[in-house]
Structure 1
């Protein structure tokens, strides 16, 4: 698929190109324009599948653009974003079938959700159009049509209004009632527990079939909808009629048992209150939120209206002095084991609610940051790698996720402090970095970032060990390479200056003469072997 980005603000376009992994949405090509006129020319040359457009631009607005493309029977996706919330803008956008209306500054999570919704709707509409074009009847594809209908209801691809849902039922010729009662049953497995063992698509297929067999006594039922979020794999099951709580708890228990037996994963099930069909999407959101707040009641069946029962009579506080001492002593195993025992004890006493887990995390981070500060290590650089960031995002989902994060933080912190305390090792690492990167623009902040130290602290350690400043050492590396090139290559002095990392020839000549006592030309003339 192809996407067209339109915004008169060049940094915004560059940010959109950079922060979104377009291939994840099946978008292989992204074009961009900085005004509506250029966008129209690009549109006529090659129609995009999706348009992401600013509303307020000086040479024609985004509303002008959507009116123009819809007049040309364009049925692709269209996402708006703007600096100002405006009911008039929003209502006009909706009237022209815009998929989403986002307010700047752009929230990456909301943007990705809007993209996913727009692309999914586009794919589904095109599939339906294709089936219609080929003349296939709905009877032959009944299960496919009904499953996609329920998916559209759950994701609000169909607006959660009874009249619009009834219209879609008639359009798709489904034997359903828009006025009936429905119960949503949700079963989920945390990503952190499943991804090390399963490919996501295979797990969803297996979970879907197990759920279908348990709840409908057959596989691949059209009311079992598999999907995934950033934190979990889910199946949503739509049941007709009012809730039989005891029966559903029995079936949920059976499904949990089968997941443990065959998938080696702990599933957790949730049952929503009875709702009309238009309330199913909100019920899904509520059950997902319930699952996100479930820290210690996994592997059970939960009814939406029955709250988790935590004992919060005594608030827990982490023994920060104890853990600070263990960090100073570099005791990785006692830190992790001690933290694990504390969490298990709190869980057994029903005291580990989300607020308590969050406070433990904050106290643990305070211990870590305090140690890093005393050792002049910058935390935001030390913990910048993708693995740590992902673990950090999931840390409060469960005790299992928390311990994975705490283990990684402990290892990274203690290893870094140990390396820092060995100043010789740090200086050697800084030297290697300089030797490997002297050809590019480099300063002491770049070198300090590589060894996770502040620039001032590294400069002091470096000068104490080598007797010279980082800048002087960098220049020595560059001049040594320049001397070799002057003698072994036919490159001009200007070319050698650029090749060895100097911005200008004059600065190169000044530094060269300072360190060698000769100009570059004089050095070449005096020392180059005569052939």
Structure 2
């Protein structure tokens, strides 16, 4: 029986080190959950079945001993392993009193930790075996649950294309006959305070449990939940008594919204469809997603398909010319603040749709790219990072994402332009690259990509600051390195040629003579520090 583990440590690198260095396949651990504070660890214990805990002792917001004292008081059946940087007798004594499996010192010996985990899992298994029982009905229930989960995940993620879903139901031996009535909801969670995200597995488990409890009083059961994308879920409810559907029962989602904002402290967007048969589920979810794209400024209240009308907004941006002037003057914060005011105004009027955000993003991109082009900076290279891509994708999720995207582009563009204006910065960066890679073939366009500049503009900057062209600087670097090798090493001359970047020996000899007045052999004979070189 595989176990769930909770890692508790306020130093993230310790958690990551444990996750990376323990050979988990040898421990019997199935799922790993993490927490950086005692409060979050307590919340996880309340929500999830945890079998083994690995906890640091000294933490800023409640010690590991405080946490485990609470765990024992709440009578959770778990095995614990303590970690600490302090080899103190009182700590060891306290760990024993809290019935710990082991007490390990940092830096962590991962072999010892693995053995301690194996022991903890064995003890947890023994405790479970005393209470566990299994019978045929239990197994059938579990198998049916897996079949249902697979069916709904495929349906909601668009992987089932059967014209009549009842055919697919029969193939999977599911007990649907076509008379059932289902309701689909789409829930998206968002942390506008930008705190640490909840573990996806925790959220999935908790939401399912809370919904099941809330739906009981409405004579509704939670049939399935599917993760559509990060922090976004499709929820399928089934009415138990089809002959007596109460369409106001959708109100359970208002209660869910209040619970999420109060307990999880997250913002939500939630759209709820109408009751329909199995064949209407995909269509209903598609419509709700469209509703989501046209109501990105609506948070923490439930939108019902039965009451909703798709808005029709025309995108009008009266500030574009003002923004372009602010950018020309490099008024970074003033420009960012102006864009925020504009977006907040749209949000107050509930005019934020995906189409409007897309047009806003296009305005920002065109403005920034055009301005950078005038500075002879290659915008497509400057914004080719993973960080840029993340901001780009999030820019259509809501006002916060759009603000962050615009702010990132503006700051990056203006700061890099200032960097380029300090020509010695660009020149020094290019010199360092050439000095490190002079043995390889170096092209001008490759160097231009390195500093995100047009090739000719980069060459002009370099020559102005360094006093020589890039090609002459590279040539000079190779000659100097060749002189060192000829005078201070026993390398054959043809090897020296290859080492400094010239595969053509004749060309190397010609180049070396033109720049030193000697052939490589003459230079070695005249300046060799130690005799005995063999040609």
* TM-score bucket of the superposed structures, by smaller chain: 0.5 to 0.7
Cα deviation for residue 344 of structure 1 reads 0.6
- Alpha-carbon distance, 1:273 to partner: 3.2
Conservation of the 8 A alpha-carbon contact between 1:318 and 1:363: no
CA distance in structure 2 between the aligned counterparts of 1:463 and 1:205, rounded to whole angstroms: 62
Q: Could you tell me which residue of structure 1 aligns to residue 530 of structure 2?
A: 530
Report how far residue 207 of structure 1 moved.
Answer: 2.9
Structure 2 match to 1:239: 238
1:378 matched to which residue of 2? 378
C-alpha displacement of 1:417? 0.6
What is the rounded CA distance, in whole Å, between the counterparts of 1:209 and 1:336 in structure 2?
A: 42
RMSD: 2.9
Aligned to 1:472: 472
Distance verdict in 2 for CA 1:153–1:463, change over 3 Å: closer
Looking at structure 2, the residues matched to 348 and 170 of structure 1 have their Cα atoms a distance apart, in angstroms, of 49
1:188 aligned partner: 188
For the 8 Å contact 2:200–2:231, the answer to whether it is kept is no
| 2:191 and 2:267 in contact (8 A); partners too | no
Kindly state the Cα deviation for residue 136 of structure 1 after the two structures are TM-superposed.
9.1
Q: CA deviation at 1:422?
A: 1.4
Partner SS state of residue 227, structure 1: strand
- Whether the 8 Å contact between 1:493 and 1:521 is mirrored in structure 2 is yes
> 8 Å contact 1:211–1:224 — kept in the other structure?
no
CA contact (8 A) 1:310 1:352 kept: no
Deviation at 1:170, TM superposition (A): 4.2
Provide the residue aligned with 2:432 in structure 1.
432
Alpha-carbon distance in structure 1 between the residues aligned to 2:453 and 2:192:
32
Contact kept in structure 1, 2:208 and 2:225, CA below 8 Å:
yes
Comparing 389-398 with 153-162, greater Cα deviation is found at 153-162
- Residue 363 (structure 1) shift: 2.1
Match of 1:447 in 2: 447
Summarize the Cα distance change of 1:506–1:289 in structure 2 as closer, same or farther, 3 Å threshold: farther
TM-score by structure 1 length? 0.67
The 1:346/1:493 distance shift into structure 2, 3 A limit, reads same
Q: What is the deviation of 1:143?
A: 2.7
1:157 shift after superposition: 4.6
How far apart, CA to CA, are the structure 2 residues paired with 1:191 and 1:506? 66
What SS does the corresponding residue of 2:140 show, helix, strand or coil?
coil
Q: Give the Cα separation in 2 of the matches to 1:309 and 1:222.
A: 28
**1:178 and 1:387, CA in 2 relative to 1: closer, same or farther beyond 3 A?**
same
Contact 1:187–1:269, Cα closer than 8 Å, also in 2: yes
Which residue of structure 1 aligns with residue 154 of structure 2?
Answer: 152
CA distance in 1, matches of 2:328, 2:402: 22
Aligned 8 A contact 1:343 1:399 in 2:
yes
Conservation of the 8 A alpha-carbon contact between 1:462 and 1:468: yes
* Equivalent position of 2:273 in the other structure: 272
Partners of 2:217 and 2:172 lie apart in 1 by 26
Contact 2:488 2:529 in 1 (8 A): no
Residue 270 of structure 1 aligns to a residue in which SS?
strand
After superposition, the Cα gap between the structure-2 partners of 1:253 and 1:135, relative to the gap in structure 1 and judged at 3 Å, is closer
Say which SS state the counterpart of residue 360 (structure 2) adopts: helix
Q: Secondary structure at the match of 1:144?
A: helix
Displacement, 1:233?
A: 2.1
CA contact (8 A) 1:189 1:268 kept: yes
**TM-score of the superposed pair, with normalisation by structure 2:** 0.66
Q: Which runs of 5+ in 2 are unaligned?
A: 1-135
How far residue 282 of structure 1 moved from its aligned partner, in angstroms, is 3.3
CA separation of 1:171 and 1:452: change in aligned 2, threshold 3 A: closer
> Over residues 386-437 of structure 1, what are the superposed CA-to-partner deviations in whole Å (9 max), with x where a residue is unaligned?
1101211221221011011112111110111101111222212221121122
Pairing 1:384-403 to 2, within 5 Å after superposition: 384-403=384-403
Q: 437-446 or 288-297, which moves further after superposition?
A: 288-297
Asked whether the 8 Å contact 1:269–1:301 carries over to 2, the reply is: yes
* Structure 1 residues 386 and 517: alpha-carbon distance in aligned structure 2, compared to 1, 3 A threshold: same
Q: Is the 8 A contact 1:182 1:275 kept in 2?
A: yes
> Whole-Å Cα distance in 2 between the matches of residues 174 and 309 of structure 1?
36
Deviation of the 1:339 alpha carbon: 0.8
Specify the alignment match of 2:262 in structure 1. Answer: 261
Tell me the CA shift for residue 458 of structure 1: 0.9
2:345 alignment partner, SS class: helix
| Structure 1: gaps spanning 5 or more residues | 1-133
Report the Cα distance in structure 2 between the residues aligned to 1:194 and 1:426, rounded to whole angstroms. Answer: 35
